[in-house]
Chains A and B, each alone.
Chain A
Amino acid sequence: MAKNNNLWQEFSKGLFKENPIFYIVLGLCPTLAITTSLENALGMSGAVIFVLTFSNVVISSIRKIVPDKIRIPCFIVVIASFVTITELLMQGYFPILVKHLGIFLPLIVVNCIIMGRAEAFAKNHKVIPSLLDGLGMGVGFSLAIILIAGMREFLGTGKILGRIVFRCFSPSLIFVLPPGALLTLGLLIALFNRIKKR
């Protein structure tokens, strides 16, 4: 029973308590760049959850045979393989989405969250906890960017997933521009810190 509780915690800490965007403030590059529409965010979420979970599992399972001095290059090879798989799959099935995400899809290789979880968690934990950690962190990241992208798309274009919500709403263009990303992220971080303090 206690063990199950622990496993649940490995998963759930990424959702809120140690949310990679709002509390650890990692992986801001895709967060700021691709959250212009909810569709982009959903695509990025899928890619990151997949890469993060599987790279965590593989890194955790090879953790005892990788020499400490060259562990980072080894981790990157593992992560890059999964990113390549993702990219090729997405190019096959969602070519338009890949076009929108652009360079930020291959850049998942250097996403700080994935490197961070490999270094901080997977390299010294067993496979099952690492899997749950990767999944939890991935879902936490996804929830955060979906929230940001939803707000930005709604405020900046008046639409959600490309559909107009209110007709009598004059969208505030700044929210789909770079300053809007920083404004939204900053205010959300402030809000979540406020909630956590309570």
Chain B
Amino acid sequence: MKNNLLVSFWPHIQMKDSITKIMWIVFLSLIPAGIAGVYFFGLHSLVLIFVSIVTAVFTEALIQLIRKKKITIYDGSAALTGLLLAYNLPPAVPFWIPIVGSFFAIAIAKQTFGGLGRNIFNPALSARVFLLLSWPTYMTAFVNPFGSADTISSATPLSTLKEGGRTLSDIGLTYMDLFLGRRAGCIGEVAIFLLLLGALVLLILKIITLHTPLSFIFMLAIFSWIFDKHGLFKGDVLFSIMSGGVILGAFFMATDYVTSPLTKKGKIVFGIGCGLITFIIRRFAGYPEGVSFSILIMNAFVPLIDRIFKPSVYGKK
């Protein structure tokens, strides 16, 4: 792979890692959480994941063919986008939802900006928000784990609490349930234990750093603890970070190379912004969950953040 893009400020040290290798490692690290999702929500989830990936790869090839560019579907970036999009879908959506979503992710959110490395917004999240605004009834119909997709629809723990539930036990869940993923939610976001395991692999291989995820989660936890709707300092910290898509978003989406800042300080600012906006949306806005919106909003600030935290030139005061 000779596609080592130079995008940061010099001086550069080139790694031997190629885009292809990184993409496929991230892809593999996400697989266990997907298997758990399929285990909880049934084979329909597997179909959704499969359809999403195939459409993403196919669209990438198609657009590159039309644009007369080299076809780079083997670098895994399209497949990863498809996988991440499927992980962000409720398990009972009809199969054409991931088709439309993946097409939007690759064709509109990625290729219209110029392809890999040039997109401003995270393609998978853009597509998720597109789907959420387009078909809100499908995108907010969640099912309980081990329930039949046709019969039992359920609210996610977050939306139950937003609509008036007080504590976790009101919903009939324990922290262990949240940790292992036995709750209603999107396909890939529920199995927090396995997501953290995947993130650990990425950390050990130094593919992602802790700056963004930690500042994201920390910020969200602090604010949820202090400004709870039942009074100051009464928030449920563990619940706030183990519900919704926080773990998936913080470790796998907010750390996307293309759409996140390059420097360490920038990454921390990015994470803080994500955490704050997630909290604001959860607490004050109409939607129960705000992880995808917060990451997309911060994506727009990335060029600005990068300009502010430009490393000083060696030897210069």
Residues of A with Cβ closer than 8 Å to B?
170, 172-175, 177, 179, 183, 187, 190
Contacts and interface: CB of A to CB of B under 8 A. Distances in A.
A174 B130 CA distance: 7
B133 A173 contact: yes
* Most A C-beta atoms less than 10 A away, residue of B112, B130, B133, B135: B133
A67 B136 CA distance: 57
Nearest to A177: B133
Contacts of A173: 133-136
Contact of B133 (A170, A179, A187, A190): A179
* Secondary structure dominating the interface of B: helix
B112 A190 contact: yes
Chain B CB within 10 Å, residue with most, of A172, A175, A179: A172
A136 to B, nearest CB: 31
B108 interface: yes
Interface of B: 100, 108, 112, 130, 133-136
A183 B134 CA distance: 13
Nearest to A171: B134
A174 B133 contact: yes
Contacts of A179: 133
A179 B130 CA distance: 9
Nearest to A186: B112
A50 B135 CA distance: 39
A183 B130 CA distance: 11
Contact of A170 (B112, B130, B135): B135
B108 A172 contact: no
Nearest to B94: A170
Contacts of B130: 174
6 contacts: A170-B135, A172-B135, A173-B134, A179-B133, A183-B108, A187-B108
Contacts of A172: 100, 134-135
Q: For A173, A175, A177, which residue has the most chain B Cβ atoms within 10 angstroms?
A: A173
A174 B108 contact: no
B128 to A, nearest CB: 12
